[in-house]
Chains A and B, each alone.
Chain A
Amino acid sequence: MKKPEKLTRGEELLTQALEECLDEDLSFVPPDREIARTHRFSEQFTEFMDGILGKKAREKEIRRHFMPRYGYLAACALVFCICGGLFLGVLYPDWNSTDSTADGPRTEEPAAETSEEAAEDAAENAVASAEDAVSGGASEEAAKEYCGQTVYLADQQEVPETLGGVTVKVNSPVQDEENPVLYLTIGNTGEDTVEYEDRCALEVWLDDGWYALPVYEEKEIRTGELEAGMAVDEIVDLSSYEIDYSAQKFRLVTRVNGDKIGAEFTFSEEFSESMSD
């Protein structure tokens, strides 16, 4: 900013007073982290600011640059096929011959290859299904009846609570049966901005593993960015689920940078009873 022009003594005093007042006002502003916890900018706002920041323009430019031109691709493929056909025709002029003696060995060889491949595939499938069983992969057999609904084994049984610099906690200081909600707080204590999904899944522990509870109202998954040192709350409306609130373990799972992360919790006895009533 440019240097102040000549001010009268009175104006200097006014400047000093203005500065003091402004500093006093700003001293009441809470830290960014707290503000960010209470307010998440709307999509319209973010889009508008992305526009000013030029992100949109850059993305558009990149898309335009790499946009496949299907007409050109089709023409190239056609030319390639024609050239390839002509080339093969020159190399193997009798390829289309109906001579059965010539066909014999050629048809036997691929058949042998096919049977070998099939054997390899079968072996690979067997290994894959064994791995699935170890990691707890979802399968049709891993289903249970729970609260009058079918629940399936969660596709990932071991979910960390802390991943890189990101930690999640289930938060619900006061449970109100009229408005049963939980908060999954995602805190980024790392140094980099991370991407998170703004939807989380509720899972319940039943005898042998974690099972995903179906939700009444599916919500569109959106991703958001969580800067270093910031935290965000995801709200889970329990009324969207059919839940048996009696003593069971639950967990909320979301994705951060594409990886699953989650936190376990149980409902208090009082709340379980009030919800059962």
Chain B
Amino acid sequence: MFLFLALLDSPGEQEKFKEIYEHYRHFMWYLANQKLQDEHLAEDAVQEAFLALTRHLDKVEDIYSPRTKRFLSTIVRSKAVDILRKRAPEQELEDYMEDSRGGTDILEQYLRKEHYNRLVSCILELDDRYRTVFEYKYLYQMTDAEIGDILGISEKNVNVRYFRARKKLQKMIREEAGQYEKA
């Protein structure tokens, strides 16, 4: 706790953090509760999200901008996913080893304008665990180290998750395209 207090030592940061807390805590709790369906676990997720935010407050420029709202939603959703997954420990590294042996990453081929609507519907269907990694990486341009710090996992595991997210999305788009062609 003292570490976090120390991180928010400057009055400017304290004020900024307080403003974010006052403005977004209910919003963040709602998102967490949507995922966890448990009021208390949702509060835990919000706490974890705010703790993570103390280390990445520099990512927030305009407190009331849509970008900040999105950023906070990504953090709290990823914390909620963490809580859910703590019940079933992940085997990402092993999965990664298997995945890396089977086939190449050809997602780029599917990312074309003509597939845009399919891409959107696939992202909406994508597991939050993968989607949040994409969001951290592309929407907020965070490095693997920064993402790992927020998620509480190693850089290597961030890379694993990212790799799996790409594979998953690629598979979903391919399946969606197949259904579309059949229709």
State which residues 139-166 of B face A: CB under 8 Å: 139-141
> B120 to nearest A CB, angstroms?
5
- Closest A residue to B31 using CB positions: A29
Q: Which of B118-152 contact A (CB under 8 A)?
A: 119-120, 123-124, 131, 134-135, 138-141
Identify A10's interface contact among B40, B108, B139, CB under 8 A. Answer: B108
B93 in the interface (beta carbon within 8 A): no
Q: Which of B4, B26, B107, B140 has the most CB of A within 10 A?
A: B26
Q: How large is the interface on A (under 10, 10 to 19, 20 to 34, 35 or more residues)?
A: 35 or more
Mask: chain B, 70-89; 1 = CB below 8 Å from A; 0 = not = 11011000000000000000
- The interface residues of chain B lying within 8 Å CB-to-CB of A91 are none
Of B16-24, B96-104, B175-183, the one contacting chain A is: B16-24
| Residue pair B120, A20 in contact (C-beta under 8 Å) | yes
Main secondary structure of the interface of A (DSSP, over half): helix
Which residue of B is nearest A16, CB measured? B116
| B108 x A4 contact (CB < 8 A) | no
Residues of chain B within 8 A of A49, CB atoms compared: 21, 25, 47, 50
**Bound Cα distance A22, B111 (Å):** 18
Measured CB to CB, the residues of B under 8 A from A are 1, 4-5, 8, 14, 17-18, 21-22, 25-27, 29-31, 33, 39-40, 43, 46-47, 50-51, 54, 59-61, 66-67, 69-71, 73-74, 107-108, 111-113, 116, 119-120, 123-124, 131, 134-135, 138-141
Task: Report A197 CB to chain B, min CB distance, Å.
Answer: 22
Query: Is A179 engaged at the interface, CB distance under 8 Å to the other chain?
Result: no
B14–A36 contact, CB under 8 A?
Answer: no
When chains A and B are docked, how far (Å) is the Cα of A9 from the Cα of B51?
Answer: 35
Tell me if A13 and B14 are in contact (CB < 8 A). no
Within the complex, the shortest CB–CB distance from A30 to chain B, in Å, comes to: 7
In the bound assembly, the distance between CA atoms of A19 and B134 in angstroms comes to: 10
> Which stretch of A37-45, A152-160, A206-214, A250-258 is in the interface?
A37-45
* A7 with B138: CB separation less than 8 A: yes
Given A49-B47, A54-B14, does the pair A21, B27 have CB atoms closer than 8 Å? no
Q: State in angstroms the CA–CA spacing of A20 and B139 once bound together.
A: 11
Partner of A21, one of B17, B22, B120: B120
Q: Which residues of A contact B112 (CB under 8 A)?
A: 10, 13
Whether A48 is near chain B, meaning CB under 8 Å from some CB there, is yes
Question: With A14-B138, A17-B116, A17-B120 given, is the CB distance from A36 to B70 under 8 Å?
Answer: no
Question: Chain B: which residue is nearest A36 at the CB level?
Answer: B26
In Å, the complex CA distance between A2 and B139 comes to: 11
Whether A13 lies near B124 (C-beta < 8 A) is no
Q: Is the CB–CB distance between B54 and A22 below 8 Å?
A: no
List 8 A-B pairs, minimum CB-CB distance, nearest first: A10-B111, A35-B26, A15-B138, A45-B43, A21-B123, A32-B26, A10-B108, A17-B119
